[in-house]
Amino acid sequence: MPRNVEIKARVSNLKEMTDKAQVLANDVGTVIQQEDTFFKVPNGRLKLRKLDNEPGVLIQYDRDDQLGPKLSNFNIARVEDVEAMKTVLSAALGVRGTVKKSRQLIIFEQTKIHLDQVEGLGEFIELEVILRDDQTEEEGHLIVRDIMKTLGISNDDLLDCAYMDMLSNA
């Protein structure tokens, strides 16, 4: 099962953070419009991601809700007909909610840097260190902490939950 170590943090100035991330990665990245529909499941989380002009993806993942770097185990399946899959999963499981966001994706080495504008919530950054099979969770934590320091992400800005959880509690 693929694994990553990740953090999510609130950002006070998305433009400034984007500039820092682009300098770090020497890349401007790509802007993607995403709509994630979350389904009611007994274990972990299940979301269907609709992308602009691309096939969608169904993502199942398990991650503890905690501050700081955390391990996430996930499975991903490509979905050609997102609307049909959404209808099937909605009928079978029920919908928990939807998250809409504009995401700028910047890749730095083995880390995905997500600079997000989330509808109804605001501006955020996520760091996802994709672990190789031979890497430990601790190595992922060190990489995340190093990038946090470089980008100036404070522990005070870290969040312990998913956007869906934040929207549900709003």
Cα–Cα distance for residue pair 119/138, rounded to 1 Å: 33
Give the CATH number of the domain where residue 51 resides.
Answer: 2.40.320.10
Cα–Cα nearest to 62, from 74, 48, 70: 74
Q: What percent of the chain has pLDDT over 90?
A: 87
**Four-point Cα dihedral 126, 131, 135, 136, nearest 10:** 50
Cα–Cα distance for residue pair 127/4, rounded to 1 Å: 10
Q: Which domain holds residue 131?
A: 3-169
Q: Structurally, how many domains does the chain consist of? A: 1
Cα–Cα distance for residue pair 91/146, rounded to 1 Å: 44
Average pLDDT score over residue span 127-141 = 96
Cα–Cα distance for residue pair 141/130, rounded to 1 Å: 11
pTM here?
Answer: 0.92
What is the rounded average pLDDT for all residues in the chain?
95
- No. of helices (H) and no. of strands (E), the chain: 4, 8
Q: How far is CA 170 from CA 26, 121, 162, 165, 167, in A?
A: 36, 9, 13, 9, 5
Average pLDDT score over residue span 42-69 = 91
More confident residue, 44 or 66: 44
Cα 158-160-162 angle, rounded to 5 deg: 110
> 59 in helix, strand or coil?
strand
Name the E strands within 13-166. Answer: 30-39, 45-51, 56-63, 70-79, 95-108, 111-118, 122-130
More confident residue, 117 or 53: 117
Cβ–Cβ < 8 Å for 10, 157: yes
Rg (CA), the chain: 16
